[in-house]
Amino acid sequence: MPVIAPLPAREPAVGVSVPGSTTEATDDAMAEGTTIDFLTETYRAHYRSLLGLAALLLDDTASCEDVVQEAFIRVHSARGRVRDPEKTLAYLRQTVVNLSRSTLRRRILGMKLLSKPLPNMASAEEGAYEQLERADLIKAMRGLQRRQREVLVLRYFADMTEAEVARTLGISAGSVKAYGSRGIAALRVAMEAAR
C-alpha cells in the first residue's frame, strides 16, 4: 500500500498517528489557500489602480505603496468583508482615502517602521515615483484643498458617481458637486501657473 506522506525516517512504526496529522495539515493548507487565492485575485484586479489612487491623494508619493499595502491588509484581515468583489473594491478605496489623511498615515507608517523595515524599492519603481514627483499635475494637485482633491480623484480617477463619492467622504452630494467644481477650477489655475 503506498504511503502518501513521507514518514519521519526515525519512526516508521508510528504510522498510525501520521495520517491524522497529515490530513489536518492538508486542511489547513486548503483553508489558507482559499483566502490567498482571493487575495491574489484582488491584488491583480485592483492593486495598480489603488496605487494610482494613493499617488493622487497623497502628499508624498513614496508612501503610496505602504498605504495600499496597509489597505489591503486591513480589508483582507477583516474576514467577511472580502466576499463580494464589488464591495472589496469599495472597502479598499475607502481605506486608501482614510489612510491618505496625513495624521493617520503617519501613525501607521510609524508603526510599520517599528515592526518591519520598509522594503527597499527596486530602482525602476523609484524612478516612476520620482517622475511622479515632478509631474505638473501632481504639483498642482498638492495646491488644492484636501477635500477638493479627494473629490476630484474619486470622481475622475476612481470613476465613482457623485453619490459614491459623497458616501466615501462622508459629505453630502451637494458638497461633492461644489468641491468638484471648485477643485477643477483651482486645478486649472494651478496647471496654467505651472506652465
Partner 1 sequence: MTHGPAGPNGPEEPGEARRTGPAGAGDEASSAPPAAESAESGGCAAANSPAEPGEGTVVPFPFGRNGRPAEPAAGGDGVGVGEGVGDGVGDGVGDGEAEIRQLFQDVVGGLEPSAQALEQLREAVPMRRRRRRRVWLGAAASVALFGVGAPVVMSAAEHVGGGGGQATLDAGAERTAGGEPAGGGDAGEEGSHPAGGDTEAPGRPGDGAEADGEPPAAGDEEGTATTRDNSEMSLSSPVCARTQLGEARTTTESPDAEGRVYGSIRLVNVSDSPCRVSGNGELAALPVGMASVDAIQIVDRTEGDRAERLPTPDETHEELVLPPGEAYEVQFAWVPSGAAVGSCDVATEPAGSGGPSPNLERGEPVTEEPTATGGQGPDGVSGEDGGGGATGESGTGGETTSGAGGGETGGESPGTGASGETGGDGTSGGETPGSTVGGDGVDGATDGVVLRYTPEAGQPEAAQIMLEGSCSGTIYRTGVLQAPTE
Alpha carbon 18 to chain centroid distance? Answer: 41
What CA–CA distances, in Å, run from 115 to 5, 43, 108, 118? 37, 23, 10, 9
H or E stretch covering 70: helix 64-77
57 is a site residue for partner 1 (CB under 8 A): no
9 is a site residue for partner 1 (CB under 8 A): yes
Interface positions, 24-53, toward partner 1 (CB under 8 A): 31-32, 34-36, 39-40, 43, 47-49, 51-52
Interface positions, 129-188, toward partner 1 (CB under 8 A): 129, 131-132, 134-138, 152-153, 156-164, 167-170, 174, 177-178, 180-181, 184-185, 187-188
Site string for partner 1, 90-129 (x = CB under 8 A): xx--xx--xx-x-xx---x------xx--x-xx-xx--xx
Closest to partner 1 by CB, 1 or 192: 192
